[in-house]
Amino acid sequence: RSGALGFALFVLNPIDMSCAIAAAMNLRLSTVEPTSQIVSVVIFSLVSVTSVAVPVALLLIKKDEATEPLQKIRTWIATNTHLLNVGLLVLIAAMQISKGVQGL
């Protein structure tokens, strides 16, 4: 159930989906070798997984001691989601502008 919920949240969140689509398009349209593309996909996947893997690992290692710091981080993220989305969109825009300027 957790996997299905996570997948549904990813698909229904336009920020996450647009980031994944932009990364896939940049990779597909690039002129790098297939080996480099595979390495890029692996790195992208590992970075994507860290947002889930790090808190889970922290909880498994520290158990009850991890509850309070994780709750504080969760509260901060929940109250500042708009800032995180703006930051991500600015990053995507900067990357696209950079690609556009390089294409001139």
Q: Which residue reads 């080996």 in tokens?
A: 35
The string of pLDDT tens digits covering residues 62-104 is: 988 988 998 998 899 889 989 988 998 898 889 889 888 887 7
Residue-number span of the structural domain to which 73 is assigned: 2-102
The string of pLDDT tens digits covering residues 10-20 is: 777 777 777 77
Q: What are the structure tokens assigned to 87, written together?
A: 């930051």
Q: Which residues, other chains included, contact 17 with Cβ-Cβ below 8 Å and sequence gap of 6+?
A: 10, 11
Count of structural domains within the chain: 1
* CA–CA gap between residue 67 and residue 78 (Å, rounded): 16
Q: What are the structure tokens assigned to 88, written together?
A: 């991500």
